[in-house]
Structure 1
Amino acid sequence: MADRYEGSFFGRRIGKPLTPRREALMKRELPRLGLDLGRPAPADLRDLFETDIRDICVEVGFGGGEHLLHRARSNPRTGFIGVEPFVGSMAKALAAIVEEGLKNVRLYDDDAVTLLDWLPEASVDLAYQLYPDPWPKSRHWKRRFINRLNLSRYARAIRPGCEFRFASDIDTYIDWTLRHCRDHPQFEWTAETAADWKTPWEGWPGTRYEAKAIREGRIGRYLTFRRV
């Protein structure tokens, strides 16, 4: 198990109790919109969606869902797969998806490692991991999601020539990610100037974690890696 997961990548899954309305919504709608990894993935992930889809984007750890929902609204022909193990965050995003009738989002509420292993090879056109848990204490760095094995998982799922995007406000995690991607033969950093990694991507809506970082005096960094 240690070779497969290299540590635990998230802590508590349940925070404050859900309201009765949110709890009922989760019971009713998550089975419909959630992915069943007990079944083989379709050869073409576009078949997961009940609308005309052109390409596939995965967001690992979507938190409050601000970025996932914004992208889904702005890109109705992109199919989004959002991964989030925390019940409160999943319930919040699920409520918005149902209320707005978004047909281009599917969800997974457990460990992203399992989802990445389930995806067909070269099936994803873009992947995001935004403001993940930094595990800031050095003794916990082994729990950071970015590591050799998980980068290989991303590389297997992402089409060659497509992108993996990572954002964090923690300098040690930025350095950690740059070093791991530099050492991985299937990723190359696309930055050519300092502005390339200090500027959010086009159409960036911000996230609540980014807003918290700004309030506390930290600056986000936005890294783009090409799958080679």
Structure 2
Amino acid sequence: MTTSNKHPNAPWRNFYGRIRGKTLKPAQEAYLNEDLEALSPGSVDWDVNPDRIPLDLEALFDGKPVWLEIGFGGGEHLVHQAATYPEIGIIGCEPFLNVVAMLLGKIRKAGVTNLRVHPGDVRNLFDVLPESSVEKVFLLYPDPWPKKRHHKRRFVTQEHLEPLARVMKPGAEFRVATDIPDYVRQALIEVPQAGFEWLAEGPEDWRKPWGDWLSTRYEQKALRQGRVPHYLTFRRLG
């Protein structure tokens, strides 16, 4: 367990995930050293922006609509979305440095230019995103924290959902994919309490993926192990 903020004026926020794993390959170290700073969305972390000055998204993405992916894993879905929709700007947020390096390699290969990367706690990003500024958000196969006593660590709690709702535009779409039935139950309870409605009229609405979906490595692992994906779509009220 670590805290995500070190600045003396920062709020205390426990962070329970991994920051770094096995030794990075030389190419991955090069991606981090050469590409990451240029792909930053701006001054996000408390040490560099203690006054929490909002990001200038208009300048960052030349006025394009802004999307957000929270915890992008291997980055394949994030790059796919950026390549499919060059008319939008998309921010990926992920604290695990090893997969950040993987993403940077994919960005180089794909040549997408409408993507920015925050390698840290999404709560710090929420602090500096302007209110009602994000038009679509993805939460795909988040850490399930399967033990009951750890459910409060899941993203689908009010600690995360309330600031998420604040930065999303009214009518904005929030997509959640998970293969954990109990995570589905918690999401269907907690997300509407934060000001969203679930857009489902029948079973096919959560059994079938979205039309522009790219199956991730985490989903493929779940399928191999016999788990069933669920695709939940919510709309921000307001």
TM-score, structure 2 as length reference: 0.87
CA distance in 2, matches of 1:42, 1:111: 16
Question: RMSD of aligned C-alpha atoms?
Answer: 1.7
Report what 2:223 is aligned to. Answer: 214
The match for 2:207 among 193, 198, 222 is 198
SS class of match (1:206) = coil
Structure 2 unpaired stretches of 5+: 4-10
Q: CA deviation at 1:101?
A: 2.5
Shift of 1:116: 1.4
Provide the C-alpha distance between the structure 1 equivalents of 2:205 and 2:12, rounded to a whole number of angstroms. Answer: 32
Residue in 2 that maps onto 1:18: 24
Partners of 1:29 and 1:173 in 2: how far apart?
Answer: 35
Describe the superposition over 1:157-186 as per-residue Cα deviations: whole angstroms up to 9, x where unpaired. Answer: 1100111111100000010010112333x1
Tell me how far apart the structure 2 counterparts of residues 6 and 103 of structure 1 sit (CA, whole Å): 32
Shift of 1:5: 7.1
Deviations 1:9-64 (A, max 9, x none): x4221111111121022012111112321353344x14213xx5531110000000
Question: Are residues 126 and 5 of structure 1, via their aligned partners in 2, closer, same or farther at CA, if it must alter by over 3 Å?
Answer: farther
The answer to whether the Cα contact below 8 Å between 1:84 and 1:90 also exists between their aligned partners in 2 is yes
The structure with higher relative contact order (CA 8 Å, sep 6+) is: 1
3-state SS, counterpart of residue 68 of structure 2: strand
Moved more, 155-164 or 142-151: 142-151
Query: Hey, what's the Cα distance between the residues in 2 that align with 1:46 and 1:195?
Result: 37
Q: Secondary structure of 2:136's partner?
A: strand
1-structure distance, mates of 2:13, 2:206: 28
1:134 aligned residue = 144
SS in 2 for 1:165: strand
SS at match of 2:36: helix
For the residues of structure 2 that align with 1:145 and 1:24, how far apart are their CA atoms?
A: 31
Moved over 3 A (4+): 4-8
Deviation of 1:97 (Å): 1.1
- Mark the runs of 5 or more structure 1 residues left unpaired by the alignment: none
Query: How do 1:67-146 residues align onto structure 2 when only pairs under 5 Å count?
Result: 67-146=77-156
> Which residue of the partner structure matches residue 157 of structure 1?
167
**Contact between 1:5 and 1:113, CA under 8 Å: does it hold in 2?**
no
Q: 1:75 to 1:5 in 2, by over 3 A?
A: farther
CA deviation profile, 1:197-218 (whole Å, cap 9, x unmatched): 1111111110111001000000
How far, CA to CA, are the matches of 2:88 and 2:154 in structure 1?
28
1:34 aligns with 2:40: yes
Q: Which amino acid aligns with 1:212?
A: K
Q: TM-score w.r.t. structure 1 length?
A: 0.91
State the distance in 1 between where 2:107 and 2:170 align.
30
Q: Secondary structure at the match of 1:81?
A: strand
